[in-house]
Amino acid sequence: MPEGHLARTPGEAAELVRKLGGRAIIKIQAWVTGRKALGGVLIVNGPDEARDAAERMLSMTFGNFPVEELLVEGLVDIRDELFVSLSIDDTGRCPVLLLDTEGGSGIEDRAETVARILIDPRSGIDAEAVRHVIVKSSIDAGFHDQLVDAIVRIVDLARTVEARSLEVNPLVTTGDGKVVAADCRVTIDDYAVFRHPELGIEIARELDHPATDLERIAYDVENADHRGTFYFAKLPTDGSEASKGLIGFHGAGGGGSMMSMDAASSEGFTLANFCDTSGNPSAAKVYRAARIILAQPGIIGYFGSGSGVASQEQFHSAYGLAKAFNEVNVSVPVVVRLGGNSEERACEILTDACDKLPGVVEGYGKDDTPAACASRFATLVREAGDIAPDHHRFIPSFVGEEASASFPIDGGRVWVDIANCDDIASELVIEHGGGLFELDEQGHPRLAISEDEAAKKDSEFVACEVECLRAGRPIIFVDLEIPGLDELLLATGEVD
């Protein structure tokens, strides 16, 4: 690789150019291809020229991405340029290497000159197949062994970091006899990122904007809980006067979610976010997703709708949603379409547990179309008038009390209001605890399993909490952590 360093200010760029001997190349670091044609790759002569160029480049924006970093590299004495690109061939079910001995810009127009070499997923690339392509080129024979070695190492690197694609363009030979990767772009498989903390990837999402604090919090929730998926992304909003208002969106299943988003948009709403919880998510995960959606400033309603044929048991989602809505005492209208297994039970849980909240909460099943649900949601929003969400979290007074019983679970803590556990309340806990509780000598509920076993039962405790709430005896509270959320709401002034 060329000698190079990152610069974040024009002054840093100028100083780096001085250290590199007065001539260098400056490249914007941005999620965009064809940087040279866009003015994002410049050769500079001297620190002053570097400072002026860096000032212009750091003011550039591509889509929603501002340029915040520049790579300042020493110039390379290029003799030959090669194009080397590895990607995954879904048809061949293996990696494939594209190799052209006439690299550099404009590769898209030279498809007929590009060699295509399939890579065995187990044994790697055939070095002789690479050598065959290079030998046929006009590149000096003195570089052949070095180039074959470099390309094999590029393929090995892609495998090591679990890249979906890795492009070196150009891979060059130099006047002093070296082989150098003059420029490189790597895309890591989203689902492999957690195995590579050394790469420093903050959030494995292909967003069309820099990750927001809320997206980072949501991504950490997804990483911490393998049960089902949770995808959250902010959507661009322009504050259009034509919009009926900004709403939180909660989908389940990709296709059904897209159809439901269209239904809400057709009613004139602007969606603040996209969210998908599917693949049989836990109640705890759905709870955290709902809290994150509700944390968005300015939303006037909460619309949840996705697949109408989901195989997952919908009451798990209903418990998570009901807990979230009660915890923030939701004041905006809520419509949730819970199509799938046990949808009747899920709708009953949701509406019954939320019937005393300031905001209307309604649940619907698969026979209610997304368009019909969106129309009903529009009616509720219109009837509610101008209501802003309250982001305060309401925690029962018995939480933290010495007289209360409590024990830890993964990602939180369960509290039991022993002071108000009369015979009826205690029996409710036993009935809805699913074998988690038993009665002690005083007739109060206590754990019937070890704390180690209880640690994995967060969703079962959430279900018990909501069922006790439905019965009018809210004596169980599951304090589930969402790291960073309360701090973010405090920092943005959403709570005090």
- Global pTM reads 0.86
* Number of continuous H segments (helices) and E segments (strands) in the chain: 14, 26
pLDDT at 104: 64
- Whether residue 170 is preceded by a cis peptide bond, meaning omega within 30 degrees of 0, is yes
Share of the chain above pLDDT 90, in %: 80
Chain-wide mean pLDDT for the chain? 92
Residue 241 pLDDT > 80: no
Q: Stretch 176-191: mean pLDDT, rounded?
A: 93
Q: Stretch 11-28: mean pLDDT, rounded?
A: 96
pLDDT at 48: 97
pLDDT class of 98 with cuts at 50, 70, 90: very high
Q: Stretch 108-122: mean pLDDT, rounded?
A: 85
Q: What is the pLDDT of residues 121-159, one digit of tens each?
A: 899 999 999 999 999 999 999 999 999 999 999 999 999
Secondary structure class of 6 (helix, strand, coil):
strand
Residues in the chain: 496
pLDDT at 326: 97
Residues with Cβ within 8 Å of 43's Cβ and at least 6 positions away in sequence, in order, are: 23, 24, 25, 26, 75
Tokens 């400056």 sit at which residue?
Answer: 26
For residue 248, CA distances in Å to 300, 327, 340, 385 come to 8, 17, 22, 17
- The distance in angstroms from the start CA to the end CA of the chain is 51
Share of the chain above pLDDT 70, in %: 97
Q: Which of 98-112, 267-281, 314-328 has the lowest mean pLDDT?
A: 98-112
- Host H or E run for residue 97: strand 94-100
- Domains identified in the chain and CATH numbers: 4-74 (3.30.1490.20), 78-199 (3.30.470.20), 213-384 (3.40.50.261), 405-480 (3.30.70.20)
Residue 240 pLDDT > 90: no
pLDDT at 487: 93
Residue 32 pLDDT > 90: no
Q: Stretch 414-441: mean pLDDT, rounded?
A: 95
Q: What is the pLDDT of residues 263-297, one digit of tens each?
A: 999 999 999 999 999 888 999 999 999 999 999 99
What is d(CA 31, CA 209) in angstroms, rounded to the nearest whole number? 10
Secondary structure class of 213 (helix, strand, coil):
helix
Residue 110 pLDDT > 80: no
pLDDT at 16: 97
Which candidate, 329, 333, 330, places its Cα nearest to that of 383? 333
pLDDT at 340: 84
Q: Stretch 399-413: mean pLDDT, rounded?
A: 95
pLDDT class of 310 with cuts at 50, 70, 90: low
Secondary structure class of 306 (helix, strand, coil):
coil
Q: Stretch 377-391: mean pLDDT, rounded?
A: 90
Q: Which tokens is 427 given?
A: 């029996």
What is d(CA 316, CA 342) in angstroms, rounded to the nearest whole number? 10
What is d(CA 168, CA 84) in angstroms, rounded to the nearest whole number? 5
Q: Stretch 80-94: mean pLDDT, rounded?
A: 92
Q: Which of 76-90, 103-117, 157-171, 472-486 has the lowest mean pLDDT?
A: 103-117
**Maximum mean pLDDT: which of 104-113, 308-317, 319-328:** 319-328
Q: Stretch 221-245: mean pLDDT, rounded?
A: 83
**Maximum mean pLDDT: which of 234-248, 385-399, 431-445:** 431-445
